[in-house]
Amino acid sequence: MPDIRPLVLSGGSGTRLWPLSTSGLPKQFADLLGERSLFERTLERLAAALPPVIVAGASHAHLVEEACNRAGVRPHLVILEPAGRNTAPACVAGALSADPGDVLVILPSDHLIADTESFRATVDEAARHAEQGSIVVFGITPDRAETGFGYIR
């Protein structure tokens, strides 16, 4: 099994779920479900993998640090963006910081995945394909084009 390096994306302006989410406390850090934030759950989801690379906005550095401490996770690297640049540049920045032999699993930090065991099994299977040179994408089947979120056909 290849080494799996989680690349956790934690950007966002906190506008889509206002007033529960704000620019100072985007939804991935807010206590929406009780106990642990979505960000903490994301860190815990692949706890057996290599330490994660985290890409976040500079203004959220303290939130990242606090959440990592609560989750008991010591990141490989935290990349702080001075301004939001969207998903692709965050992925590139994280990928360039990983070791060339790592298989990256890119994880948005604001998703809720209830069946963690099934998710881990799926990541393990995808990692075997990635080790052979494939690119594997997880997602839902789109029913329309959505410029706000995009989709892969």
Question: pLDDT by residue (tens digit) across 2-48?
Answer: 689 999 999 877 777 888 888 888 999 988 888 899 999 999 998 88
- Say if pTM beats, i.e. exceeds, 0.85: yes
Predicted pLDDT at 150: 64
Closest CA relative to residue 11, chosen from 46, 60, 62 = 60
**Distance between terminal CA atoms of the chain?**
29
153 pLDDT band, cuts 50/70/90, is: low
Q: What is the mean pLDDT of the chain?
A: 88
Is the bond into 19 cis (omega within 30 degrees of 0)?
A: yes
The pLDDT of 101-111, averaged and rounded, is: 90
CA distance 7 to 75: 10
What is the CA 105 to chain-centroid distance, rounded? 8
Judged against a pLDDT cut of 70, whether residue 152 lies above it is answered with no
- Cβ neighbors of 9 (< 8 A, separation 6 or more) are 55, 87, 90, 91, 94, 106, 107, 108, 109
